[in-house]
Amino acid sequence: MRTPLLIAAALALTAGPALAGPDATLAVEHYRLANGLEVVLAPDPTVTSAMVEVWYHVGSKDEVIGKSGFAHLFEHLMFEGSRHVPEGQFDVLLESAGGWNNGTTNNDRTNYFEQVPGNQLPLALWLEADRMAGLWDAMNASVLTNQRDVVKNERRQSYENRPYGVAALLIQQALWPKGHGNWNLTIGTMADLDAASLADVEAFWRTYYVPANATLLVAGRFEPAATKAMIERLFAWMPARPAPARRTLDAPVAPLAQAIALETTDKVAVPKVIVTVRAPEASAPTLVDLEVATQILGGGKTSRLYKRLVWKDRLATDAYAYLNPQFLGSELQIEAVARPGVTAEALRAALLDELTTFTAAPPSAAEVERARRVLEVGLLSTLENLASRVNQLADWAAYFGDPDHLAESQAALAAVTPATVAAASERWLRLDAAVIMVVRPEPAAAGGGAP
């Protein structure tokens, strides 16, 4: 009997040896249809359900100034009906079959996914094929207006009326120059959303929602030969159309030329300090060193930042760091939320001091080993869950051209040393190349005066 990946990973945290050998494989089949549709099949007879995901290679990085938010708007429009599925019936059909579905958008892609019992896989594939080929048959001005209002309300809920939410938008557009794909806001602007016409949206769909710009992934319980035949029948008839031009990395990513200090206020009770730096593109070999650095700095309650700011100095209620890989340049963000009564200046000074200490000398071998193990366990945990597994396969296919990148990912982690972490941190984790944001409470929220 095969030991589950997550159990094996947990046992290996204290055991020492690698969690999987250099020949680790996920038994993934990877091919293309004649019309350009990329297909990834990852059968798993140990589960009872199947996961379908369609990754369209279009995100906010591909938008142009004045037409922001289109990729995210489409995430909503794709659930509003298609040639053979009336408005509102997409969810009904899946939920009646015991499944669920969702979609997300970011800088690099828009993806749609469903999880269904294994015997309902034909339904999920048929629904995806119908909206890939026939979305516009169900589109009209009323649907566009309705979903545009939904997206605008999401902007209000997720950013404008969310504590510290607007800071994220300000940081993104300070970190990247106007005209760079990463400068574009995935959520879009109210003005651009209001200006989006039916003709604009149709042109976007006809450009980017073509088989040659999509990856279809199927994971879980299914019979490969029958599923391949079904995919051929449902998707191969769609005409071959040219893949659209996508934003690509035309020059090496570089740190900011100088530090940028930002301040804003929000309806919050305590200050927050956010430090953000650029990082290499998602496929860059050195990104794994920054992943380890991020884990050591802000990966949980044993991290340096948490121990210093929350436990030792008692300046913060939370402190964390995360790395967001992206095609055109990644982002490493460090955040600390002040304890009540602590000033923004005191929190900022301590946070920057800890970052300076981190980059002044290599981390210890023990810190690196622990971070590597935590990251590897996290990767294997991702692969344990069918929904997160299919997303991981899609990421690997997009960023590395290979949906089965497990062995390479583990080898890259195994090669990280204190010296490589120090070199990557010295290059990228620089306060003279960071956007440093301070969010202060509005006077009314702070009882008459901001800390």
What CATH number is given to the structural domain containing 48?
A: 3.30.830.10
Q: Residue 60 burial by CB count (10 A; 0-12/13-18/19+): exposed, middle or buried?
A: buried
What lies within 8 Å, CB to CB, of 228 at 6+ separation is 39, 41
Same domain? For 230 and 298 the reply is no
Residue 105: its pLDDT value, please?
A: 95
**Confidence class of residue 25 from pLDDT cuts 50, 70 and 90?**
confident
The residue-averaged pLDDT of 410-438 equals 97
Structure tokens at 76: 């909503």
- Count of domains for the chain: 2
> CA 166 to CA 112: how far, in whole Å?
27
Work out the angle between the directed axes of helices 386-400 and 365-384 (0-180°, nearest 10): 110
* Residues 313 and 400 placed together within one structural domain of the fold: yes
Model pTM score: 0.90
Asked if the model's pLDDT at residue 17 lies above 90, the reply is: no
User: What span, in angstroms and rounded, lies between the C-alpha atoms of 87 and 75?
Assistant: 15
Which pLDDT does position 24 carry in this prediction? Answer: 62
Query: Which stretches within 164-276 are classed as H helix?
Result: 165-175, 190-195, 198-208, 224-235
Range of the domain at 133: 25-235
What is the Cα–Cα distance from 171 to 263, expressed in whole angstroms? 10
Q: The tokens 């969010």 sit on which residue?
A: 439
Same structural domain, 224 and 267? no
Distances (CA, A) of 207 to 69, 135, 381: 16, 13, 36
pLDDT at 240: 95
pLDDT per position as a tens digit, 274-333: 999 999 999 999 999 999 999 999 999 999 999 999 999 999 999 999 999 999 999 999
Decide if pLDDT at 92 tops 50: yes
Give exposure, 331-363, as e/b (b: 16+ Cβ within 10 Å): bbbbbbbbbeebebebbbebbbebbeebbeebb
Q: 450: which residues sit within 8 A by CB, 6+ positions away?
A: 265, 271, 344, 440, 441, 442, 443
pLDDT tens-place string over residues 42-84:
999 999 999 999 999 999 999 998 989 989 998 898 899 899 9
Is 112 a member of any domain?
Answer: yes
Residue 120 has pLDDT above 80, yes or no: yes
**Per-residue pLDDT reduced to its tens digit, 386-395:** 999 999 999 9
d(CA 358, CA 447): 36
d(CA 113, CA 236): 20
Q: Could you tell me if 280 and 191 lie in one domain? A: no
Residue that finishes a domain, picked among 235, 268, 301: 235
221 & 280 share domain: no
Percent of the chain with pLDDT over 90: 78
